[in-house]
Structure 1
Amino acid sequence: MRIQKNSLSGLALQKFKRNFWGVLSLCFIVICGCIAIFAYALAPDNSENANQMHLSIHSKSPGFTVQMLTIPQKQEEQSFFSQLFLGAKNLSTEIPIKNYKVEANSLVVQPYSELKTNGLVKTFSLDKFPNTENIESVVEKYITTKTFTLGTDKYGRDLLSRVLVGARISFFIGFVAVFISLIIGIFMGAIAGYYGGKIDAIIMWFINIAWSIPTLLLVIAITLALGKGYWQVFVAVGLTMWVEVARVVRGQVMGVKEQQYVTAARALGFTDFRIIFKHILPNVIAPLIVISAANFAAAILIESGLSFLGIGAQPPMPSWGAMIKDHYSYIILGKPYLALVPGIAIMSLVMAFMLVGNALRDALDVKS
């Protein structure tokens, strides 16, 4: 008779695979992560921060199509990886046009306008377009038809590109904030739970003080102290999320440190550092995985709230919370999609992390 032995991690993995919503949410998170990393390769507008403005076509509905004339300028030299991960430093000017015609060695265009009357006509000579032999080649090379899949925002920027690039802020803040909270929370909680006594009392006093301050208020104070910016928000959110991790680790360590294998480790003369990090912490990792998934979702919501208040990522850097702030008034002006699209993106990513957390909780529950 063949007996198959499975480790606890293998059994937990099998239970997680049987959870349809957990697996689906994990796949969604992986896809969002790939989109965040390669946003500029996927975005129609691959300029830095997807910040190509066209004020004449602001607030257009999804699927809007227009002819675009590109006036080339001298480009800065950029490596392939810089352009892939940081966006193209595009100095060219894009002009939405209604129509155009060729006259001798000049290109005459009529810029796009919502007014029924014809706007000012602009004339561009051949020398404006390098590496072209005649006006016909200018038309073929520099006039294209551009479609805005999700429409444009109030500055005429491609909404789809802004959403894709904005995923970086909301996605990466989860990793950075959770990483910071785990480092501080595990260290403080393990020390308090293992040594107890006065050390535990002092650490718990700090934990209770930090716990009593509203999270958003503490994040705002830290952000204002560090300054407004991208990384300041990451650090601020991480410094407010360690408290819950520390409390969980402390409680787990207090229960595990009385086990026989810990007593045996002490009898063998192992140092406290080795006992804590080699023998105790690996056995309390399960609740930390669950709480980390929940903290991912909380970090995304906090960052969105800070961006909505104007103290998160600063313009022109796209952020889902800032996009809602810029367009929430359009909900009552007949164009609610400008605020709903980033709102749905936030809701979907937060829900995915919460479902993964619930699936991990069920999979790591040894009683089920």
Structure 2
Amino acid sequence: MAVLQQNKAATRPPSYYIRQRLVQNKPAMVGLGIIVLAILVAILGYAIMPDSTPNANNGIVQIQKKNPGFATQVLRIASPTPAAAVNPIEFILSGAPEDYTEIPIESYTFKGDSLQVQPLRSNNALADQPRTFALKEIIADPENYTAGSEMQQIIQDKYIQNKTYWLGTDKAGRDVLSRLILGTRISLGIGFVAVLISLFVGIVVGAAGGYFGGRVDKLMTFLMTVVWSVPSIMLVIAISLALDSKGVWVAFVAVGLTMWVEVARVVRGQILGLKEKTYIEAAQVLGVPEKMIIFRHLLPNMIGPLIVIATANFASAILIEAGLSFLGLGVQPPAPSWGMMVNEGFQLIGAKAGLYLVLLPSLCISILVLAFNLLGNGLRDAYDPKIPLTNG
């Protein structure tokens, strides 16, 4: 029986032990759980946001800079021209435009075929005078309008709602929770694209320098040294000026092009050691094309280190994007970005609401970056064969 167990263990592939070490690393699994949750939130996006308008940009001036947990009644007045319908895929990707106007109110009374409301007192002004709306002005289909108590009940059920802003509102009266949820999509999207760009450029440059050596290696090393010496912020500014644009996609490309040097250095170092192996020399003697040697025999042996670097770069990309958006060089309004939200809160730091506007997106950035770092450390340990398994 013991012999059978030893034979079974001997036939297990290295990937089995990598998975086991990763699963046994509790901090890494916590980080992985946070990342999976963030990915689900980013994918669902508008489907789980209280404000499902594009960019969560439905601002109400009367309720700007409210603290978490603020609740109010809202009167919805249907627009004369309804917004175009969107299919479920479009809704998940970009939301749906609103086809109504919202007015926060303190109280309301019906008077025949009209509705009198007391608008909510705003932060910087006295309470507005009561306003009166004809019921026909409120409903979406005035052609089916019927006077009487039945129509008043329809108004109460469909057009007067209680809204709670669980994380408060920003300086434009927008829902902070919705913008944080959408900011998750932007942070993960920039991290993903930046990691892909950095892996592609880093693998090409590092593999060319490490395998061919000589002048090619000197040129690639010089290129890595130059890029490494330029601050990321300055490089992003230069890329933005070169592309003559600022926005989400420019931030994607700019962040990616600032992170490939570390990948190239690791790939170069690994290839310098691997290309001296006997199986590489045998492939060269047999006339195997150099491109096939690099992509079939060398790079597959570096998957572990590359995964660890990609995880660390993901966290770095989120931090770089947040810093750029804070400075106004990354994602541009009205698209929500955690870094831009921190900047908006920083401008209101004297107000109580400013504390929440700085603290909430900062916590999101910190938790997500910590999750990627925990997972990266776990992957590093998982690929280390010297670390024993606790069982099996």
Take 1:120 and 1:95, find their aligned partners in 2: how far apart are those partners? 13
The match for 1:221 is 238
Take 2:161 and 2:54, find their aligned partners in 1: how far apart are those partners? 21
Deviations 1:319-341 (A, max 9, x none): 00000001114344233111100
Alpha-carbon offset, residue 9 of structure 1:
1.4
- Which of 16, 19, 25 aligns to 2:22? It is 16
- Which of 173, 176, 183 aligns to 1:159? It is 176
Aligned partners of 1:307 and 1:322 also within 8 Å: yes
Alpha-carbon offset, residue 168 of structure 1:
1.1
Take 1:6 and 1:298, find their aligned partners in 2: how far apart are those partners? 35
Alpha-carbon offset, residue 117 of structure 1:
5.5
TM-score, normalisation: structure 1: 0.97
Aligned partners of 2:121 and 2:128 also within 8 Å: yes
Alpha-carbon offset, residue 89 of structure 1:
1.4
Alpha-carbon offset, residue 220 of structure 1:
2.0
Take 2:86 and 2:21, find their aligned partners in 1: how far apart are those partners? 48
- Aligned to 2:218, what secondary structure does the other structure show? helix
Structure 2 unaligned segments of length 5 or more: list them.
388-392
User: CA 1:118–1:169 in 2, change beyond 3 Å: closer, same or farther?
Assistant: closer
Take 1:331 and 1:89, find their aligned partners in 2: how far apart are those partners? 32
* Pairs within 5 Å for 1:215-364: 215-226=232-243, 227-335=245-353, 336-364=355-383
TM-score, normalisation: structure 2: 0.91
Take 1:295 and 1:151, find their aligned partners in 2: how far apart are those partners? 32
- In percent, how many aligned pairs have the same letter? 47
Length, aligned pairs only: 368
The match for 2:91 is 83
Alpha-carbon offset, residue 218 of structure 1:
0.8
The match for 1:97 is 105
Alpha-carbon offset, residue 12 of structure 1:
0.9
Take 2:28 and 2:349, find their aligned partners in 1: how far apart are those partners? 33
Take 1:314 and 1:266, find their aligned partners in 2: how far apart are those partners? 51
- Aligned to 1:46, what secondary structure does the other structure show? coil
- Aligned to 2:364, what secondary structure does the other structure show? helix
Alpha-carbon offset, residue 125 of structure 1:
1.2
- Which of 10, 13, 19 aligns to 1:7? It is 13
Aligned partners of 2:120 and 2:127 also within 8 Å: no
Take 2:52 and 2:114, find their aligned partners in 1: how far apart are those partners? 29
Root-mean-square deviation (Å): 1.4
Take 1:224 and 1:166, find their aligned partners in 2: how far apart are those partners? 25
The match for 2:188 is 171
Alpha-carbon offset, residue 208 of structure 1:
0.9
Dislocated runs of 4+, deviation >4 Å: 114-118
Aligned partners of 2:83 and 2:99 also within 8 Å: yes
User: CA 1:291–1:258 in 2, change beyond 3 Å: closer, same or farther?
Assistant: same
* Pairs within 5 Å for 1:60-209: 60-73=66-79, 74-114=82-122, 118-128=127-137, 129-131=139-141, 132-133=145-146, 134-209=151-226
Take 1:111 and 1:52, find their aligned partners in 2: how far apart are those partners? 18
Aligned partners of 1:331 and 1:337 also within 8 Å: no
Take 2:202 and 2:343, find their aligned partners in 1: how far apart are those partners? 33
Take 1:306 and 1:135, find their aligned partners in 2: how far apart are those partners? 51
Given residue 108 of structure 2, which amino acid in structure 1 is its aligned partner?
Y
Aligned partners of 1:188 and 1:246 also within 8 Å: yes
Given residue 307 of structure 2, which amino acid in structure 1 is its aligned partner?
I
Deviations 1:90-139 (A, max 9, x none): 13211100111111111111111147964222221122213353233122
Deviations 1:21-54 (A, max 9, x none): 1011001101101101111011111111111111
The match for 1:212 is 229
Structure 1 unaligned segments of length 5 or more: list them.
none
Take 1:102 and 1:22, find their aligned partners in 2: how far apart are those partners? 59
Given residue 288 of structure 2, which amino acid in structure 1 is its aligned partner?
F
Deviations 1:67-105 (A, max 9, x none): 011111211121121112211111321110011111111
User: CA 1:330–1:118 in 2, change beyond 3 Å: closer, same or farther?
Assistant: closer
